[in-house]
Amino acid sequence: MKEMVMPQQGELLGRVIKLVGGDNIIVKCTDGKVRTCRIRGKIKRRMWIRDNDLVLVAPWDFQSDRADIIWRYISAHAEKMKAEGHLQGLE
């Protein structure tokens, strides 16, 4: 199993609510905000993102209701983060 990517400064965890299309996804973040996120090009070709996936997002500095998706967690990592209490506000 690959190592788990943890949120750094300025990054949040989020749960995918809906795929909108055109690389845009609606995500509910741990700070309580619902953001429109886009899939970064590097990830777009590498991983599929589905409804209810746990993702790592980086909110934009100049537009706080938008963000970039940096990482998608596999289900084993999502369960581990839930057990450790990192998903406050997403249940």
First-to-last CA distance in the chain?
25
Query: Do the beta carbons of residue 24 and residue 18 sit within 8 Å?
Result: no
Query: Do the beta carbons of residue 5 and residue 54 sit within 8 Å?
Result: no
Question: Which of the two residues, 23 and 12, has the higher pLDDT score?
Answer: 12
Model pLDDT for residues 14-69, shown as the tens digit of each residue: 999 999 987 899 999 988 999 999 987 777 767 788 899 999 999 999 998 999 99
The token duo for 28 is: 């509910």
Report pTM: 0.86
CATH of range 12-83; options 3.40.50.2300, 3.40.30.10, 1.20.120.430, 2.40.50.140: 2.40.50.140
Domain residue limits, the chain = 12-83
